[in-house]
Amino acid sequence: MSPAHNSSRDTRAATEPAAGYSPAQDELQDIHHRLDELRAMGILVAAAVDGDATPVGAMLSRNSFTHVVSATNDQEVLQALRSSLDFGARPIDMLLLDVAATQFDGHALCRAIRRQPAWRDMPIILIRQRSAWQEDMLPGSFAAGATDILFHPVQRVELIPRVISALLLKKERDICRQHESELETELAERKVMEARLQYLVSHDDLTGLFNRRRLELALEDVIANARARGQTAALLYVDLDQFKVINDLEGHAVGDRLLMSVANILRKHLGAHDILARISSDEYAVLIEDTSEAAAMKRAEALRIAIDEYRFRTEDRNYHVCASIGVALVLPHEDINASEALARSSQACFEAKTHGRNLVHLFNKDDVETNILRHAADWVPRIREALAQDRFCMFFQPVIELPGGRVVGYEALIRMRDNDGTLITPDRFIPVAERMGLIHDIDIWVVQYAIGVLARLPREQSDLTLNVNLSIHAFQDPALLPLVRDNLERNGVAADRITFEITETAAVASYDQTRNMINQLRELGCRFALDDFGTGFSSFNYLKQFPVDYLKIDGSFIRNLLNDPVDQRLVKSMIEVGRTLGKLVVAEFVESAEILALLEEYGVNRAQGHFIGEPLPEILPG
């Protein structure tokens, strides 16, 4: 019988399903396809005679196994296995080891193979002489690493199914291994990505220095250490005096080069434990641990001189650069947190600037009081007058729903009309009003006005909602609930048309005091949005507790979304957080069609911004 003559029929006879079961045509095809795959796997036949000359090798070839190689002694077996691991070589998937031949020390060879991680899963079928004590020998063979045992004379009907099932097992294990390794790679990649993101989140892209957020974390540590060890620390706030001029004259690329040069100058003057950060475009901070007032002032002066002596060269110009430096001390007995320390150093820097620039100034509480008083003395009467003469007004910015783009509501943004008619934005007067106890009256005006606006809308716009910004003090005032309830009732406005915006930082800082009020207003039907989301970096656990309906991603993450991969990652994860917590996600500062499209693709639920509509003094008819 020639091998070619009965090859495929033979295999089928040996592996055909039991009689009585008749698989469908395509199922049959699938089985044959899988059998062909198994028959293409690599088999090493180790026997005293070469290749097809052994009965086992010949049987395999006759049954269409296409990759059968042979070895005639231990050394050849190991050599064949080793070569199969070479790059580009065909792998060997199983070993048929005929130990009847004296050339093979079957058990020793099995053990040698099992020691190699690459061959640990390879099926090994031992073929041995049938003997009277064969039963006693089986455990030894399996212990050495054999996976199956056949006896001479080997029968085709026995051999082929055993080989097929061994190869099937090997194939399944290989697939499992591959999945495991793919998963490991994916996890490793994700870890690298996360580490990179972590780096980007805490470092400044341009200079590689720590950014503001990372500085704040380091500052918290330093403050705790200062307190525990009775040491003094110092924070130096360095502001370049001419950066904006050079940046405007020479363009951003040159401006960036200047910022990097200054970072390098500061780097050169750092002590081993100092921390250097860039905290805004042209502002740096140096954090010095374990110092004294005199030593910190000396260090600041050295930095000022180093920058003063530096000449910044562009193609055809030479610039003299200098910096104003504010110094704030963190004293061991003082109860101060990171943002207070930063505010103090920035205040001192501001003093250095007002005293003539290119100076170092040490923070002094009296400076601040004088400043606030100076500022307040100017603003308090202006705000009082505006309140008395009803010179506040509201601007309204449309909020659209995504996908679709339907206007679902507006954000109400307060403006103050000065006595010469100019409009003043809230960032100029709200902080003074908050500090000087005038915010209460403004909050009341805002609530009454906003509800009045909703009541006056025509019937076809009666489903529009209004987002209202209130100060954090409002939510600590028990009078807010009756004020809102009475105004809604009197004007016949449904409570769910009002969404109060509460900033993330304020919410975190005073959640315990405001929780009750927020819950009562929500029971009334009002909605809540967490404004400036992302800037406070509240932990996920904290967020879970906030009873808000919307997360409003801060505009600073949206503005450069197209070009900033870090913002893209952050925005995506904020959306994910929102989705997980079952909150709708809003994006503000949408300034272009491209950003809007990207946000829609990410799955943002609402959007507002200059591209969609600028704040206007009235709500446009629907």
Binding site for ligand C2E (CB under 6 A): 397, 413-414, 425-427, 430, 446, 469-471, 501, 531-532, 555, 588-589, 591, 609-610, 615
Which residue sits closest to Mg ion, CB atoms considered? 501
Q: How far is the CB of 471 from Mg ion (least distance, A)?
A: 12
Shortest separation between residue 555's beta carbon and Mg ion, angstroms: 6
- Give dist(CA 405, CA 606) in Å, integer: 9
Taking the least distance from each CB to ligand C2E, the nearer of 318 and 422 is: 422
User: At its nearest, how many Å lie between ligand C2E and the CB of residue 430?
Assistant: 5
CB of 622 to Mg ion, least distance (A): 22
DSSP assignment of 253-293: HHHHHHHHHHHHHHHHT--TT-EEEEEETTEEEEEEEEE-H
| Among Mg ion, ligand C2E, none, residue 516 binds (CB under 5-8 Å by kind) | none
The nearest distance, CB 527 to ligand C2E, in angstroms, is: 15
Query: What character string, x for contact with Mg ion (CB under 5 A) and - otherwise, covers 490-509?
Result: -----------x--------
Query: Minimum distance from CB of 442 to ligand C2E (Å)?
Result: 6
Rounded CA gap, 278 and 207, in Å? 8
Considering only residues 510-539, where is the footprint of Mg ion by CB under 5 A? 531-532
Task: Show the site string, 457-476: x = touches Mg ion by CB under 5 A, - = not.
Answer: ------------x-------
What does the alpha-carbon distance between residue 164 and residue 96 come to, in Å, rounded to a whole number? 12
**Residue 3 or 426: which CB sits closer to ligand C2E?**
426
Q: How far apart are CA 305 and CA 307, in angstroms?
A: 5
3-class DSSP assignment, residue 413: strand
| CB nearer to ligand C2E: pick between 326 and 534 | 534
Window 585-604: residues binding Mg ion (CB under 5 A): none
Cα–Cα distance for residue pair 26/29, rounded to 1 Å? 5
Q: Which does residue 216 touch among Mg ion, ligand C2E, none (CB within 5 to 8 A, set by kind)?
A: none
Residue closer to ligand C2E by CB (options 167, 412) is 412
Task: Please identify, using beta-carbon distances, which residue of 319 and 537 lies nearer to Mg ion.
Answer: 537
Residue closer to Mg ion by CB (options 297, 474) is 474
Residue 524 exposed, middle or buried by CB count within 10 Å (0-12, 13-18, 19+): middle
Cα(43)–Cα(60) distance, integer angstroms: 9
Any bridge partners for residue 124, and if so which? Answer: 95
CB atoms within 10 A of CB 429: 23
Min separation Cβ 529 and Mg ion, Å: 8
Which one of ligand C2E, Mg ion, none interacts with residue 430, CB within 5 to 8 A by kind? ligand C2E
Nearest to 55 by CA among 42, 68, 66, 67: 68
181 token code pair? 């390794």
Residue 591 beta carbon to ligand C2E: minimum distance, rounded to whole angstroms:
5
Q: Which residues contact 309 (CB under 8 A, 6 or more apart)?
A: none
Helix (H, G, I), strand (E, B) or coil at 182: helix
CB nearer Mg ion, residue 291 or residue 469: 469
| Cβ distance to ligand C2E smaller for residue 70 or 467 | 467
Q: Are 63 and 11 in contact (CB under 8 A)?
A: yes
User: Given the complex with ligand C2E, which of 235 and 529 has the nearer CB atom?
Assistant: 529
In the three-class reduction of DSSP (H, G, I as helix; E, B as strand; rest coil), residue 607 is classed as strand
Return the one option of Mg ion, ligand C2E, none that residue 414 interacts with (CB less than 5 to 8 A, by type). Answer: ligand C2E
> How far is residue 261's CA from residue 594's CA, in Å, rounded to a whole number?
34
φ/ψ region of 270 (left if φ > 0, alpha if ψ in -120 to 50, else beta) reads beta
Smallest gap from Cβ 222 to ligand C2E, in A, equals 31
Q: If contact means CB under 5 to 8 A according to the sort of partner, which of Mg ion, ligand C2E, none does residue 427 touch? A: ligand C2E
- Nearest 10 degrees: CA dihedral of 185, 188, 194, 198? -150
Q: Return the structure tokens found at 225.
A: 């250490």
Tell the smallest beta-carbon distance from residue 615 to Mg ion (Å). Answer: 11
**Of 443 and 532, which has the nearer Cβ to Mg ion?**
532
Residue among 582, 590, 588, 585 nearest 602 (CA): 585
Q: Which partner from the list ligand C2E, Mg ion, none does 610 bind, CB cut-off 5 to 8 Å by kind?
A: ligand C2E
Pick one of Mg ion, ligand C2E, none as the site partner of residue 110 (Cβ within 5 to 8 A by kind): none
Q: Which residues bind Mg ion (CB under 5 A)?
A: 469, 501, 531-532
